[in-house]
Structure 1
């Protein structure tokens, strides 16, 4: 995607979903830990990042094709589009 054409998945967002709690439910169920959390901006699924053992956020994208996640980490204000591999700060 060229710089003159912004990612439509990112520009289509009108509001942001946040994590209801600071935990990856799938990791909790497995008894595992995580590094960072991501929030699916289509359905609100909370999953762990790719630096985590289980990579639940990316697995969620592959299973659902929901394109955009945000960081659930305090002080981080960015979005990532898996489809276009594009990041945006807000």
Structure 2
């Protein structure tokens, strides 16, 4: 299974779990395996990291306007 592929954001309006839970987030991250949108480690609930841990999808891209960097949760490094 390819870890990085073209994806469409499943919830383009915000963090998937925060939207369901009526929580707040700081910044958003897009899973490059499945399109999950999760909140960053600066957010109270860290849903992007939780998603990576529970699914084994390690690479996210910033889902913030004007940013195009990627992060690997396995290596804790920019990729």
Higher-Rg member (1/2): 1
Cα distance in 1 for partners of 2:16, 2:57 equals 18
What is the TM-score with the length of structure 1 in the denominator? 0.75
Structure 1 position 16, deviation (Å): 4.2
Q: Which residue in 2 is equivalent to 1:17?
A: 7
Classify the secondary structure of the residue corresponding to 2:48: helix
Note the aligned Cα RMSD (angstroms). Answer: 1.9
**Cα offset, 1:27, TM superposition:** 0.5
Match of 1:63 in 2: 54
Moved over 2 A (4+): 15-20
Q: Report SS of the residue matched to 2:78.
A: strand
Which of 56, 60, 72 pairs up with 1:81? 72
CA contact (8 A) 1:22 1:37 kept: no
Q: Secondary structure at the match of 1:38?
A: strand
May I ask how many residue pairs the two structures share in their alignment? 77
Q: Which runs of 5+ in 1 are unaligned?
A: 1-8
The reply to whether residue 43 of structure 1 matches residue 45 of structure 2 is no
Which runs of no fewer than 5 residues in structure 2 stay unpaired? none
| 1:27 corresponding residue in structure 2 | 18
